[in-house]
Chain A
Amino acid sequence: MPLKFTVNGSPVSLEDVPGEATLLEVLRERLDLLGVKEGCGVGECGACTVLLDGQAVNSCLIAAWQAQDREVTTVEGLAHGRELHPMQQAFAETGAVQCGFCTPGMILSSLDLVSQEPDPGESEIRRALSGNLCRCTGYHDIVRAVRRGAQRLRGEGSES
């Protein structure tokens, strides 16, 4: 079936998308957006998280046709050229990234959170990220990064 949707701000039109194709498969295999990761294929790990109309979803659980006429944001759509998104910058500076496999999904879930709650507390952050697994960092520095990113997005300076 044909699929028309917006990906990272650009209109995309695809032919012959199989009905059973997941959004994850279409993003990776048809659009070469390899920042979308597959960690489990069953919606447990959150590595495949993308924003669908601004809301964080597991793209391995979403059929591609569900994105028809909607807007998808992947990690590739966050930076403006060389300039990183404030949340990406915060993750990079804070030790929130070790192997980096969970990072794209982690950043997108964080953006979903701060779009709803611009000043999230520690427990809100932990709850919001509980669908995104990380095996490297122990989440300690990820929580710090989200606070720092949220602060920057509110237009406040960075805490030291």
Chain B
Amino acid sequence: MSVGHSMPHSGVYARVRGETRFGWDQQGYGDLHLACVRAELAPAHIKSIDPAPALALPGVVRVFTAADVPGEHNLGIIAVSRDQEFLARDTVRQRGQAVALVAAETRAQALAGARAVRVELDKLPGVFTPAEALASGAPLVHPDHADGNLLRENKIKRGEVDAALAASAVTVEAVYSTSPLEHAALEPEGGRAWWQGGKLVVQACTQNPHYDQADLARFLNVPQEKIRVIQAETGGGFGGKLDLSVQPFLALAAWHLVRSVCMRFTREESFLATAKRHPLRMHYISGADEQGRLTALKARILGDTGAFASYGLAVCMRAAVHATGPYHVPNLDVACRMAYTNNGFYGAMRGFGCPQVALAHEGQMDALAAKLGLDPLEMRKINALQAGMRTCTGQKLTAGVGLMQCLERIEPIYRAWREEAPAQDGLSGVGLGAMFYGIGNTGVSNPSTAQMEWGPDNTVTLFTGAADIGQGSDTVLKQIAAGRLGIEAEQIKLCRGDTARTTNAGATSASRQTYISGNAALAAADNLVMNLVEGAREMLGERHLEIELREGMLRASDGRAVEPGEVARHMADQGGAARGEGAFDPNFSPLDPETGQGRPYAAYAYAAQCAKVAVDPASGMTRVKEVAAAHDVGRAINPRAVLGQICGGVVMGVGMALMEEHRPGREGNLQQYHIPTAADAPAITPLIVEDPEPTGPFGAKGVGEPALIPTAPAVAAAVSQAVGKPLRHLPLSLERVMEALSSRGESHED
């Protein structure tokens, strides 16, 4: 059986040979090349676009503008907030928004053409911070949006907060903030489009091929069947490839020119024009009683969602329902607001608002513990969610709550690090972070589907729309299906991410594919077995024979055994096929709009991490030396892949804590925006905790985003300890650390 084994990632041998073809590698001979003309300033009114100078250049075939879009201009993942024009019509809302698209024979000619298009813009007054945006009389980013510049407010209300805070033994009030972050997946966006069999085919990097198909059909005003989207092998995503990137441009040009076209974003363009992580400002007032039990939380969270909604609604809601962290808090008054601005748009990034609020809820735990004279780990144990308790949305947790086990797993490491002698030549600190994370989309249906087929030649195929972007869903889904069929995972072929051959599995986001698509694969395997058994009964001529699939054979209670392939041949001869269909949608209930009460998720992942840092008092240079990370994943379908997710998440969290900060509206490249190198990365002790989730496939939940969430708070706590002052604004740049060092001993309140 394959569940629980660390089989290598599906496709790994092609990857080490360099044979894997990512988005840009799809490029074919004779393709036209595309390049965007991007607005230099925003907001602005488009006065005129003159393509003539570009069309006069050698190789330039055509220049497209918004007037060439046959269908809907406004695209976006969340149906109620579609507002992103891929070619701006009258108004440019963010710097770098495309206003025209050039098609030419070579890439150099397309880029030259894009530079030559004459664009006249009239600058309009704009808003660049959420506070500005929400002030009365502020210029509106989307004048037709009902709530002015407020995209959404999400509220969570339980109990009596003010009374509970007044009665608390201690309270802490503090403001935390995080910066815009770039996903910086190693592969910049790229892909190709062409015509085949009367369909427009788009093959590009993506995290959600079936969404791409639906939005491209709207964009071109054609039935979905006319568009086929194939997920190219995708070189990392982290949420950055959930929104459309090159796809609308590819589709539009191929549609009009009836030729194959290809396109990629430069790294600078990727920085300028794709989504970023929402920066949040979080004002928290928390209370606890004398024993350290949390009494109340009042939180006001304000985020910048930039010029387009993208995943802003999801981030807003997720930040609100995770604002308490993984603790029982009886009285709550949380309000999270997202404001439109003319900054580059913010969207999904690994954790959807949870890595941001984790800085605040963990900072509050440390501050309350300090006031009470409690050990920070004790403080977390006292308040940790456990089976039988209710979350902040009133959802009663029944099983699979592994937070306490995570805390216990890191406790010996944490205690040992705390007792180590301080470094001779510098300052050192040890900090904690903990989290819970709802698996799948928040308070909405988010189903997945899958099919399986047992071929007459005994090949077994799993069909899934789930995009593998490097995290390993291909491998894990095969392992789950194989586990159910009692065969080796290597025996299963995969057909993945092609809208002509697979059905919708939803996005590779929200750490949902193992749990949701895994359950769909499990259901497809069950249905396949049922159909094989039926086929075998018919073939053997006994309608009521007991038959089971065991060790690769269909074994009947009368001692006979047949190969599934033989049954599949029999079924094929009858005009059928040995197939199975599966679907899964997590059990949820929507959140009440006023109180935020409901059952947003069917399952939660839990984690606790601790970090050890060293700070050079002369320069402020901070190094994360070690991180121990314990994650409750329910069941590790592929332990090596789980450990890989944990280590990758930790290092991304170190980047968020210490160095990453995107300046809105800047192109930038990896020279200006630093992500951790091998030399920056700490030594990591990843620890797997398995508290089985009763509704998960073989007990599994998810780990992709949880891996990142506790790291930045743990590092911030460790640096705070090292410098002797709480640090509440990320990243902890040299300047911020030096400033903290020079003001040590002053007030601890912001």
Interface positions of A (Cβ within 8 A of B): 33-42, 44-45, 47, 74-76, 78-79, 84, 88-89, 91-93, 95, 97-104, 107, 125-127, 129-143
Considering residues A79, A84, A99, A125, which has the most beta carbons from chain B within 10 angstroms of its beta carbon?
A99
Of the candidate stretches B13-21, B149-157, B309-317, B519-527, the one touching chain A is B13-21
Tell me the nearest residue of chain A to B237, going by C-beta: A99
Interface positions of B (Cβ within 8 A of A): 6, 8-9, 11-13, 15-22, 24-25, 183-188, 233-236, 238, 266-267, 469-472, 640-641, 643-644, 646-652, 669-671, 675, 677-681, 684, 686
Of B17, B472, B678, B686, the residue contacting A139 (CB under 8 A) is B678
- Tell whether, in the assembled complex, residue B238 and residue A135 are in contact, meaning their CB atoms are under 8 Å apart: yes
| CB neighbours of B686 from chain A (8 A) | 140
User: Nearest Cβ in chain A — how far from B607, in angstroms?
Assistant: 15
Please name the 6 residue pairs, one residue from A and one from B, whose CB atoms are nearest each other, closest first.
A35-B18, A99-B470, A101-B235, A100-B15, A138-B647, A75-B18
Known: A76-B17, A126-B678. A138 touches B186 (CB 8 A): no
Of A92, A100, A125, A130, the residue contacting B20 (CB under 8 A) is A100
- Tell whether, in the assembled complex, residue B678 and residue A84 are in contact, meaning their CB atoms are under 8 Å apart: no
Of A33, A95, A125, the residue contacting B678 (CB under 8 A) is A125
User: Nearest Cβ in chain A — how far from B26, in angstroms?
Assistant: 10
Cα distance, A38 to B266, chains bound together (Å): 9
- Tell whether, in the assembled complex, residue A127 and residue B670 are in contact, meaning their CB atoms are under 8 Å apart: no
User: Nearest Cβ in chain B — how far from A128, in angstroms?
Assistant: 8
User: Nearest Cβ in chain A — how far from B471, in angstroms?
Assistant: 7
- Tell whether, in the assembled complex, residue A104 and residue B18 are in contact, meaning their CB atoms are under 8 Å apart: yes
| CB neighbours of A138 from chain B (8 A) | 644, 646-652, 681, 684
Cα distance, A50 to B611, chains bound together (Å): 36
Cα distance, A88 to B17, chains bound together (Å): 7
Cα distance, A74 to B19, chains bound together (Å): 12
- Tell whether, in the assembled complex, residue B640 and residue A95 are in contact, meaning their CB atoms are under 8 Å apart: yes
Known: A134-B186, A135-B238. A100 touches B470 (CB 8 A): yes
- Tell whether, in the assembled complex, residue B470 and residue A136 are in contact, meaning their CB atoms are under 8 Å apart: yes
Tell me the nearest residue of chain B to A100, going by C-beta: B15
| CB neighbours of A97 from chain B (8 A) | 9, 12, 15-16
User: Nearest Cβ in chain B — how far from A39, in angstroms?
Assistant: 5
User: Nearest Cβ in chain B — how far from A112, in angstroms?
Assistant: 14
A-B contact pairs, 15 of them (CB 8 A): A35-B17, A35-B18, A37-B22, A37-B235, A40-B671, A44-B671, A78-B17, A88-B17, A101-B22, A136-B186, A136-B644, A137-B648, A139-B651, A139-B678, A141-B640
- Tell whether, in the assembled complex, residue B13 and residue A92 are in contact, meaning their CB atoms are under 8 Å apart: yes
Cα distance, A45 to B669, chains bound together (Å): 10
| CB neighbours of A79 from chain B (8 A) | 17
Of B21, B184, B646, B680, the residue contacting A135 (CB under 8 A) is B184
Known: A39-B267, A93-B8, A135-B675. A98 touches B470 (CB 8 A): yes
| CB neighbours of A98 from chain B (8 A) | 9, 236, 470-472, 644, 648
Extra pairs beyond A44-B671, A84-B13, A91-B16 (15, CB < 8 Å): A34-B18, A39-B188, A41-B267, A42-B267, A42-B671, A44-B670, A75-B17, A76-B17, A99-B187, A99-B236, A103-B16, A132-B678, A133-B184, A133-B186, A141-B643
Cα distance, A143 to B644, chains bound together (Å): 12
Tell me the nearest residue of chain A to B26, going by C-beta: A34
Cα distance, A17 to B648, chains bound together (Å): 40
User: Nearest Cβ in chain A — how far from B155, in angstroms?
Assistant: 35
Known: A40-B669, A88-B16. A126 touches B184 (CB 8 A): no
Cα distance, A130 to B684, chains bound together (Å): 17
Known: A95-B640, A135-B648. A44 touches B184 (CB 8 A): no
Of B6, B15, B679, the residue contacting A126 (CB under 8 A) is B679
Tell me the nearest residue of chain B to A18, going by C-beta: B108
| CB neighbours of B17 from chain A (8 A) | 35, 75-76, 78-79, 84, 88
Of B11, B25, B641, B678, the residue contacting A34 (CB under 8 A) is B25
Cα distance, A33 to B699, chains bound together (Å): 43
Tell me the nearest residue of chain A to B686, going by C-beta: A140
Tell me the nearest residue of chain A to B17, going by C-beta: A79
| CB neighbours of B675 from chain A (8 A) | 133, 135
Of B9, B186, B471, B648, the residue contacting A45 (CB under 8 A) is B186
- Tell whether, in the assembled complex, residue A103 and residue B8 are in contact, meaning their CB atoms are under 8 Å apart: no
| CB neighbours of B640 from chain A (8 A) | 95, 141
User: Nearest Cβ in chain B — how far from A84, in angstroms?
Assistant: 7
